[in-house]
Amino acid sequence: MINTSTFLCILRRSTVAGAVVAAAVVVGPASANKDPVTPKQLKLYQEAFMEEVRKGDLLFHGDAAMAEQLGVKLSTTGWACAMCHPMASDTHPHAFPKFQQSMAKFATLRDMINWCIEKPNQGEKIDPESEAMKALEAYITWSNTGSVLVPGKY
Amino acid sequence: MSDELDRIRREMHAVLQPPGVRPDDSLQITRRTFIHRSLLFGAASVGQTFAWWPLLNTIDVAHAAEAPFKFAWISDTHLYERSLNTRFVDKVVRAVQEVQAMDPPADFLIFGGDLAQLGKIEELELGVELLKDLKIKKYYIPGEHDWYLDMGKKWGELFGQPNWTFDHKGVRFIGLDTVSRGPDYWTAKKMTPEERMGHMATLDGTVAGAWAGVGREQLDWMQKTLAEWDKSKPIVIFSHNPLYEYYPPWNFWVRDWREVNDVLKPYTKVTNIHGHVHQVLYNEIGSMRSIGMLATSWPWPYAPEGVPKLTKPMIRVDPGDPFDGVGWETVNVNADDKVDVEYIMWGRKEVFVRSPEDHDKSIEEVIQPRIADRQYPWENP
């Protein structure tokens, strides 16, 4: 015997499941995320990530060729991110988003990256959606692998 | 702390701190020390957290001064060419003006290395030009940034022998070269001088390896230099790198600290003053006290692990203020035979943390070593 609340629950689940299937049909190939992941796929995903980490590492350490390749000017003073943040220490990606005293606003890691580019480095702010920003974010977060999330912590 | 670092720390402790061994304990209290003590009593929990003992600034060099005197320390200016970076120039100018204005004047200046950022002739000559306005006697030791473009050629032309000794009013001073004996990481990979310098200039790089060391022949020289010196008389040793092990991945150490300790073991009042770390630092190793100095250029964060427990940490700095967290030091040898190191940190009056939140390690972090310099371009020749 099915009571009213159980019936509503089943209905909700059916609706959600239907929406997910529909989304997969609309936005991706029909087979996406249906098959068990293969070691080959995992390797590709990891390589795609580490390639961004590598690019971000080079940007973070002031590599001129990588900055040129990605069309950014992160510094005009010779200063690079790594000069205050060796091994991306003291960047605290696990503490964002938070109120950032230096900007006097609630900020994301991307906001903070741009602040450092503009202020200490005296470079040119970059598009938050650019590859350079994503690469910097990849490098900074990868460098802090294992740090425990403490969002909002000063 | 990693298992490996923990093992090394235990070994260092066993080698250097057998029961009863520590620097001469006739530490005397000065005005500055009283200030720290009052903080300690006012904030016992903070004191426990950061192990505020012994107190940072006052180093006893009993029976030292035949007359009171002061000297000054400036280091880690990391000058680029003037056209590229004027902020670093401004800070050297300020330090020079302030040292010059000391009253009574400093007897001499120690420049503790890393005058230049990339070892260029123009950078080193800019440093000489800026320091020329300082009229007192100057002594220089090299930093790795000064050295690895031309392997110390220009530095030697400007400043002479990188290690030296002199006596002043009852204290024996020794300057060491801890930078020039790096392992050859460049020949096999056919690096240009600029590439060699680039790896050396990257604190968190992995290519240059464990470059900081004193070396056997310099240790022999130091032993000879100290052979006739009374074991209970004070010795002050200047080095770019700390003479103990703090954090090897950033060369916050010398790799032959065991041998250094062997040479210094018989002497009871040894003070090591060092640069390179760009931060307030204090440690005791065997019978030696070790004090880290500020840079004029920028502050390094404390290393992810290995900060000596005896260090009362400096305050977390404001990254928006180029003059915060940096500065220079006076070292005051008093009439009653004490040495007092004073940090002149621009940008704020209170140098030390007052609460855990003011420490740059208040947010715990787990940090991975750099990766790109292990992959590029060396794997794709």
Strand partners, B164: B175
- Is residue B316 domain-resident? yes
Any chain A CB within 8 A of the CB of B232? no
Q: Do A86 and B250 touch (CB under 8 A)?
A: yes
Q: Do A154 and B357 touch (CB under 8 A)?
A: yes
- Is residue B309 domain-resident? yes
Any chain A CB within 8 A of the CB of B188? no
Instruction: Find the domain containing A108 and state its range.
Output: 37-143
- Is residue B334 domain-resident? yes
Choose from B204, B207, B357 for mutation: most chain A CBs within 10 A.
B204
- Is residue A14 domain-resident? no
Q: Is the pLDDT of residue B178 over 50?
A: yes
Give B203 to chain A, closest Cα distance, Å: 7
CATH code where residue A57 lies? 1.10.760.10
Looking at residue B332, its pLDDT comes to 73
- Is residue A99 domain-resident? yes
Element (H, E) at A137: helix A131-143
Any chain A CB within 8 A of the CB of B84? yes
Residues 298-327 of B with CB under 8 A from A: 298-301, 303-304, 318-320, 322
Alpha helix (H) residue ranges in B201-305: 216-226, 257-264
Q: Do A84 and B369 touch (CB under 8 A)?
A: no
- Is residue A104 domain-resident? yes
Looking at residue B166, its pLDDT comes to 97
Looking at residue B46, its pLDDT comes to 33
Query: What are the pLDDT digits (tens) for B307-361?
Result: 887 788 888 888 888 888 888 888 776 655 566 777 888 877 778 888 888 888 8
Looking at residue B167, its pLDDT comes to 94
pLDDT-derived band of residue A29, with 50, 70 and 90 as boundaries? low
Please give the Cα distance from B288 to B8 (Å, whole number).
19
Instruction: Find the domain containing B273 and state its range.
Output: 21-358
**Which residues in B lie closer than 8 A to residue A92 (C-beta atoms)?**
363, 365
Looking at residue B183, its pLDDT comes to 94
Give A115 to chain B, closest Cα distance, Å: 9
Give B201 to chain A, closest Cα distance, Å: 10
DSSP helix/strand/coil, B168 = strand
* Binding-site residues on chain A for chain B (CB distance < 8 A): 50, 53-54, 57-58, 61, 63, 77-79, 82-90, 92, 94-95, 102, 116, 119-120, 142-148, 150, 153-154
Name the DSSP class of B10.
H
Total tally of structural domains belonging to chain A: 1
DSSP helix/strand/coil, B48 = helix
- Is residue A17 domain-resident? no
Handedness of CA A5, A8, A13, A16 (dihedral sign): negative
- Is residue A26 domain-resident? no
Tracing tokens 């190939």 back to the chain, one arrives at A29
Query: What are the pLDDT digits (tens) for A68-79?
Result: 999 999 999 999
pLDDT-derived band of residue B60, with 50, 70 and 90 as boundaries? very low
Any chain A CB within 8 A of the CB of B128? no
Q: Do B365 and A54 touch (CB under 8 A)?
A: no
**Residue with the larger pLDDT of the pair B43 and A138:** A138
Of B367, B369, B371, the CB nearest to A144: B367
**Residue with the larger pLDDT of the pair B276 and B10:** B276
CATH code where residue B264 lies? 3.60.21.10
**What letter represents residue B198's amino acid?**
G
Q: Do A89 and B365 touch (CB under 8 A)?
A: yes
A3-17, B59-73, B98-112, B280-294: least confident range: A3-17
**Which residues in A lie closer than 8 A to residue B364 (C-beta atoms)?**
147-148, 150
**Which residues in B lie closer than 8 A to residue A90 (C-beta atoms)?**
301, 360, 365
Please give the Cα distance from B272 to B237 (Å, whole number).
5
- Is residue B115 domain-resident? yes
Of A53, A78, A116, the CB nearest to B371: A53
Choose from B250, B307, B323, B368 for mutation: most chain A CBs within 10 A.
B368
pLDDT-derived band of residue A35, with 50, 70 and 90 as boundaries? confident
**Residue with the larger pLDDT of the pair B287 and A68:** A68
Please give the Cα distance from B262 to B219 (Å, whole number).
9
What average pLDDT does chain A have?
86
Of B322, B366, B376, the CB nearest to A145: B366
How many A/B residue pairs have CB atoms within 8 Å?
A: 98
Looking at residue B365, its pLDDT comes to 92
DSSP string, B115-135: -BSS--HHHHHHHHHHHTT--
Angle among Cα B299, B353, B281 to the nearest 5 degrees reads 50
Looking at residue B274, its pLDDT comes to 95
Total tally of structural domains belonging to chain B: 1
Question: Nearest residue of A to residue B367 by CA position?
Answer: A144
- Is residue B26 domain-resident? yes
Looking at residue B180, its pLDDT comes to 98
- Is residue B86 domain-resident? yes
Query: What are the pLDDT digits (tens) for B107-163?
Result: 999 999 999 999 999 999 999 999 999 999 999 999 999 999 999 999 999 999 999
- Is residue A23 domain-resident? no
Tracing tokens 């060099």 back to the chain, one arrives at B61
Q: What distance, in Å, lies between the first and last C-alpha atoms of chain B?
A: 36
Give A87 to chain B, closest Cα distance, Å: 6
Highest mean predicted confidence (pLDDT) among B30-39, B53-62, B100-109, B351-360: B100-109
Please give the Cα distance from B53 to B48 (Å, whole number).
9
Of A50, A87, A154, the CB nearest to B204: A87
The mean pLDDT value for A30-48 works out to 86
**What letter represents residue B73's amino acid?**
W
The mean pLDDT value for B219-243 works out to 95
- Is residue A151 domain-resident? no
pLDDT-derived band of residue B66, with 50, 70 and 90 as boundaries? low
DSSP string, A32-84: TTTSPPPHHHHHHHHHHHHHHHHHHHHHHTT-HHHHHHTT----SSS--HHHH
Q: Do B318 and A102 touch (CB under 8 A)?
A: yes
